[in-house]
A and B are shown apart, each in its own frame.
Chain A
């Protein structure tokens, strides 16, 4: 395509601009740079505002950012040391007051506290201009990823705002980040490099241009395949053919795994309440086929441990074979089921303990076509085992409501995948996240209630030492493998396409320094393509 040379003409050898994909905010985006309004804010906030630490969400490593250091004074007290020389992009200095103001803001306006940090925090104070201390009601390490990554906003701007919940911060949002908002219209958002950025030398791109997308429709795919985006993060069918092959030298993609998508069984119903039954199903699903067919080969089969491998492999207990990823073996499943007391009858129907054929429903939201496709494979596998399974495709709302209330037999659910191990296990498994059938469960939709699990989660929550955390996680993965509260099937993919024609240094399978979406990490790692050559 021969477009590689022309456009690195930015100042000082920097990349003049990069074309990025969508910037959020719906089909008719409105200026909204309130970093706490996650669903409606524009993508620019990632580059305008910064947080105390930045997580590399691939390896789950915290990198110092606005804070240079943090230390647990005791399990309930955390001391942050803030970076020197950081300035707001309106020239005012960044101080501990701003940090305290930000956390207080979320305390006063619960609507903005998306991650619920004030469930753990009890106070945030500035010890001096560069030091902030946080105190917790209980040991707070488990929530670190949550409150460490709160975007810090300037007190001198936000304290004047009447209602921060409806504040869209539309004019020149003030932040500490590497970019400022240069121009906006609903079709395009342009960010300009912040020359006074505290690590300006690492930002090698003068301008980022985000283009309004049509939600992954044809036109966007086409533009991507024509090389009109330097980076995008969208679903692309048959990416090899439609993107990589068009310019194999520059076009690349990397789809690291996200949370697990699992087969949820309603544990309050027979036969799903029988551990032996569930265990027998471990090898019943053709995970590879799901990954290849329903998910177009963009994903990998998931580990039964509920951890995301290989990224979180460090947390795995060493004695788990194949990182906990189960094979597909219908014969084995059949044998195990028969052994567990669920034989097949003459017509090949699988019988329950009551001697009657086992029949149940399986649901995915009807609109999520890839799930529906996966569901077909799942139902096929189960049918092969002699179950009578009916697949249903309700609307997402119904699906969600029924899932929360426990009105289902089996369905697909998502869990885990974050860098917060406590949450990864607490949300799907803790009994306090459950509820009786008919009442809304918060997140334990399978209704797993097990004192030992609860205790392990509690240990994880309060453990400040990494070794203690690892021990607890290891035990929890054992629960997953031995007692099978749910059966993870595959990892949701994080879409990430990039071109190396103008800029290089994107995270990739070979250099996984960040996960897609870790924008601050990525932008500070990009280099002009010509310079790199």
Chain B
């Protein structure tokens, strides 16, 4: 059973490390069932492993985008509407920008959107779900109503409408809009989870031990929802990445940002189909699919962490 060891145990701290290690492996074991470390489980699942590798690739590309991109993605010093050439692997845009550089830098945008919107909507969902589930009573009634409202309000039209009402168009707007439309599902799941957790004896016991509500939520409840939160985060991030691309494709994105969605939008407007610039049109779509696929694949593993039914599926 491979438990990822805490970084570099120094000999002098050996005993303590051992304890810590035991403790952590316990934590992980719990979190994921009676299992070896979470990473090991994810890694052993073949789908998930592939997903992790792809994602790692994207993260690296995004991190080193400035180094990897051969040119400034917005520099339009090149001949326009080129097909793939040695200098421009995926050709140039109608404005003479290097498509490959845009693709590389676009990875950054997608990951940032995924991360930020995922975090934001997870956070909002968590706070609202937790409050509703824990407080109960009329607070719950109101928040549940909000959650249900958030669930029935159609997301894309709302995104489009919100994007239209806002005075500025930027990546953060997109992130905001996606979070606003994406929190409800997570909130509902977290609410129902917390409702089952709330009535657990150990929560009542914590109250008998004199702990306050905030502490109970933070220390007793949230740690038990970790896998739920992670799955929720992945789902939200995935939706956000797709959402950003869709909005950008509709022309509701931030044209100053290079993203795969804006690339597709511009490829579509810029006549990539007529000029036969296949690479320009296909590349952003495929990379987008690949990134989303990686998330989906990882989700298989994460689902398996919390749902033993899925674990046997290989």
Residue of B96, B255, B270 near A366 (CB, 8 A) is: B255
Complex-state Cα separation, A242 to B270, whole angstroms: 11
Collect the chain A residues with CB atoms within 8 Å of residue B74's CB.
376
| Chain B 242-270 per-residue mask, 1 if CB under 8 angstroms from chain A, else 0 | 00000000010011100000000010111
Interface check A216, CB cutoff 8 A: yes
- Contacting A at CB under 8 A, from B254-288, are 254-256, 266, 268-275
Q: Which of A218, A241, A393 contacts B256 (CB 8 A)?
A: A393
Query: Is A367 in contact with chain B by the CB < 8 A criterion?
Result: yes
- Contact among B166, B168, B255, B269 with A237 in the assembled complex (CB-CB below 8 Å): B269
**Residue of chain B at shortest CB distance from A235:** B269
Which residue in chain A gives the minimum CB-CB distance to B95?
Answer: A373
Q: Cα distance A393–B257 when bound, in Å?
A: 10
Cα(A366)–Cα(B275), bound, Å:
26
Contact of B251 among A367, A394, A397 (CB under 8 A): A367
Question: Chain A contacts of B255 at CB under 8 A?
Answer: 366-367, 369, 372, 393
A residues 213-257 near B (Cβ < 8 Å) are: 216-218, 221-222, 225, 236-238, 241-242
**A159 touches B (CB below 8 Å):** no
Q: List, in ascending order, chain A residues with CB within 8 A of B170's CB.
A: 366, 393
Q: Cβ of B76 < 8 Å from any Cβ of A?
A: yes
Given A218-B271, A395-B167, A395-B169, A237:B254 Cβ within 8 A: no
Chain A proximity mask over B57-100: 1 for CB below 8 Å, otherwise 0: 00000000000000000101000110000000000001110000
A293 contacts the other chain (CB 8 A): yes
Q: From A371, which residue of chain B is reached at the shortest CB distance?
A: B255
Residues of chain B lying within 8 A (CB to CB) of residue A398: 167-168
Tally of A-B residue pairs with Cβ under 8 A? 75
Judge whether B268 and A218 touch: CB under 8 Å.
yes
Please measure, in the bound complex, the distance between the C-alpha atom of A225 and the C-alpha atom of B254, giving whole angstroms: 30
CB-based contact A394/B167 at 8 Å: yes
With a cutoff of 8 Å between Cβ atoms, the chain B residues found around residue A373 in the complex are: 76, 95
Determine whether A449 belongs to the interface, using a CB cutoff of 8 Å to chain B: no
Whether the Cβ atoms of A236 and B271 lie closer than 8 Å is: yes
Nearest B residue to A215, CB-CB = B269
Complex contact A394–B269 (CB within 8 A)? no
Segment 373-394 of A: residues with Cβ below 8 Å from B? 373, 376, 391, 393-394
A218 touches B274 (CB 8 A): yes
A216, A237, A393, A394: the one within 8 Å of B81 (CB): A237
Interface residue? A294 (CB, 8 A): yes
Query: Is A296 positioned at the interface, with any CB of B under 8 Å from its CB?
Result: yes
A242→B275 contact, CB < 8 A: yes
The interface residues of chain A lying within 8 Å CB-to-CB of B80 are: 238, 296
In whole angstroms, how far apart are the Cα atoms of A233 and B168 in the complex? 31
Q: Shortest CB–CB separation between residue A225 and chain B, in angstroms? A: 5
From the candidates B76, B254, B269, B273, name the one contacting A293 in the complex (CB within 8 A): B76
**Pair B167/A237 contact, Cβ less than 8 Å:** no
With CB as the reference atom, state the residue of chain B lying closest to A399. B167
Give Cα distance in the complex from A289 to B166, angstroms. 33
Which of B94, B168, B268, B271 meets A395, CB within 8 Å? B168
A392 and B274 alpha carbons, distance in the complex (Å): 32
Separation of A228 and B168 alpha carbons in the complex (Å): 39
Residues of B within 8 A of A (CB): 74, 76, 80-81, 94-96, 166-170, 251, 254-256, 266, 268-275
Could you list 19 further interchain pairs (A-B, Cβ under 8 angstroms) beyond the known A218-B268, A296-B94, A398-B168? A216-B269, A217-B268, A218-B271, A225-B274, A237-B269, A238-B271, A367-B169, A367-B251, A367-B255, A369-B266, A369-B269, A372-B255, A373-B76, A373-B95, A393-B169, A393-B255, A394-B168, A395-B168, A398-B167
